[in-house]
Structure formats: C-alpha cells, structure tokens
Amino acid sequence: MLESWLRAANPFNRPRAMAEAQRAARTASFALILSAASSLASAGLMAMHPEWMATIMANQYARMGMSDEMQQVQQTMMATIMPWAMVGGMVVTVAICLVLAWVQWKFMTRAIPIILLILIAYSAVTGLVGLSTGQYHGMAPGFVTMSVLTWAIQLVCGVLYVAALRGALVLHRLKQEP
C-alpha cells in the first residue's frame, strides 16, 4: 500500500491506470495538510518572537526613507494590528489549506495543483526579492532556521503538487476516453 502511494507521489512516474491517476491526484491533499501544519508552526514561532517582525518592519521603514516620527507612528500602528493579523491570517490559511485538501481528495482537480504551484513560484520570487533588498538583514538565527525548514517543506509540497497535477491530467484524459 505504501509503495503505491510513494509511486503516486513521484512526479517522474506517469500513472498507468485510473487508480494510479486518482492516487497521484490525491497526493496534493497530503501536501496541503503538510503546508497547513507548516503555516501553523511558523505563525506560532512568529507570535512567540515579535522581535522578528519588528526587525523586518524596521528594515522596511529604513528602505522607505521614513522620518523618525513616521516610523514611530507606523510602529505603534503595526504593534496594534500585527498580533490580530497574524492570528487571523494563520486561522484563514489553515482553514483554506484544509478545505482545499478535502476538495482535492474528493474531486481530484487539475486547478488546485496548478494554482498552488503558481503560489509557490510567487512566494519564491518575493522571498528572493526580500533577500536581495536586505529585508531580512539582522534576523536572528532562529528565524533563518524557521525559514529554511519552511522552504524545505514547501519544496516537498511542490514535488507533490507536480505529481498531483500529472495524475489529475492523466485522470482527466482517461475520463474523456470512451
């Protein structure tokens, strides 16, 4: 049983039959659950270390060339908004991931893996822009470790999304055949 799921999760294996295609298309559900758990852990760590967000925002304010008064107003506003935004964002992200996991398991769509691969690519681009512009300058080693682990998890999820897309495409083609 495990061997068949590992075969389905391999993006280089083309599904040979309907059951394999369904199994491959459903691997995105596992990736979405893994992504939800990763988001929950990252948000928890960010909430435990508010200085990480303060450093990121200070770097942003410095790049924007804000005056000291404007920085103080912005920091006060963000200190008020950020805890609620993080909790709300975490809850919404986890809920969306779990709903999409259920939808992908039930309907084995092509759209969900495509959208998730696009979001991973977008996230990679914005992360690289942040690195190249000094957004993460002066961050604590714990933040770097969390970021590396998060990206490793997203890489695994990306591989599963590719496998799911291949499975969903084969499944769609098999359903169209007479």
| Sign, Cα dihedral of 174, 2, 14, 164 | positive
pLDDT tens per residue, range 36-66? 999 999 988 988 888 888 888 888 888 888 8
0.85 exceeded by the pTM?
yes
Taking the C-alpha atoms of residue 39 and residue 97, their distance in angstroms, rounded to an integer, is 10
Half-sphere exposure (Cβ direction) of 41: Cα atoms closer than 13 Å: 14
Q: CA-CA distance, 34 to 37, in Å (whole number)?
A: 5
